Amino acid sequence: MLRGRRRYNELAGSSIDRLAGISDGIFAVGMTLLVLGLALPVVAIHTESDLWEALKLLGPNLVVYTMSFMTLGIFWVGQGTQMSQLTKSNRNYAWLQLTFLFAVTLVPFSTGLLARFPSFKLALVEYWLNIALLGVTLLASLEYALRADLFEETIKREGARLFRGRILIAQALYGIATALSLVFPTWVSILLIVAIQLNYVLAPRIPILHRF
């Protein structure tokens, strides 16, 4: 029996290489744009001492910049790990990944807002919502890929648990850190988020933390 004509949507989004290419490009641009927030404050500088004082005022911005660079780095590694296990792609998966990349493009704005208003809870919540959107869309991509049989069979059994667990645990920790701003100054939450990120970046061999 002859197979019917294939539809356009059966062919669209099937290139994993193109999806990886646009992902790397958007991450590269997003990580580069972060540094634009490291601008010296508009103050009169006439001496070395004045310059030193101006540079010290960049401290909060530098912390938020470093935090955001790690945020994008962690998600770049996570997305790359997920995509490296794909055997194929399709239109729906491609659009889920593009939605994830949309969240990536928002990080420079979220960073700029938090860097300018680090003591405002609203700025911190907006930043957390950006991280949450990154996590939700990456998890949605994973769950769809599992249902659509886009992974190898071995990855479906073991990798799914590892990928899912890492996303859910990280998002829970980010949420708890942000919620603490209801009780403590926002800087406590920001430093906790940095500490969580350092755990994922450095992957210490501490028994409890290493499982995350």
Q: What is the pLDDT of residue 189?
A: 96
DSSP H or E stretch at residue 157: none
Residue 1 lies in a domain: no
pLDDT in tens, 136-151: 999 999 999 998 888 8
pLDDT in tens, 39-83: 766 667 778 887 887 777 777 888 899 999 999 999 999 999 899
| pTM for this predicted structure | 0.85
Q: What is the pLDDT of residue 208?
A: 56
Find the range with the poorest average confidence among 6-10, 16-20, 31-35, 192-196: 6-10
Per the CB < 8 A criterion, the answer to whether 93 and 147 are in contact is no
Measured distance CA(141)–CA(117) in Å, rounded: 33
DSSP 3-state of 168: helix
Residue 206 lies in a domain: yes
Cβ contacts of residue 20 below 8 Å, gap of 6+?
A: 80, 83
Measured distance CA(204)–CA(50) in Å, rounded: 40
Q: What is the pLDDT of residue 207?
A: 58
Residue 7 lies in a domain: no
Residue 78 lies in a domain: yes
Measured distance CA(200)–CA(212) in Å, rounded: 8
Mean pLDDT of 202-210: 62
Residue 6 lies in a domain: no
Measured distance CA(66)–CA(46) in Å, rounded: 29
Report the domain count for the chain: 1
Q: What is the pLDDT of residue 26?
A: 96
Counting beta carbons within 10 angstroms of the beta carbon of residue 58, is it exposed (0 to 12), middle (13 to 18) or buried (19 or more)? middle
Residue 5 lies in a domain: no
Find the range with the poorest average confidence among 23-32, 36-45, 114-123: 36-45
Residue 24 lies in a domain: yes
The whole domain housing 169 covers 12-210
Measured distance CA(159)–CA(96) in Å, rounded: 19
Measured distance CA(21)–CA(25) in Å, rounded: 6
State the chain's mean pLDDT as an integer: 86
**pLDDT exceeding 90 applies to what percent of the chain?**
54
Residue 175 lies in a domain: yes
Based on C-alpha coordinates, what's the Rg of the chain?
A: 20
- Give the angle subtended at the CA of 17 by the CAs of 167 and 66, to the nearest 5°: 45
- Beta bridge partners, 151, equal 86
Which DSSP state fits 158? I
- Tracing tokens 């590694």 back to the chain, one arrives at 77
Measured distance CA(204)–CA(114) in Å, rounded: 28
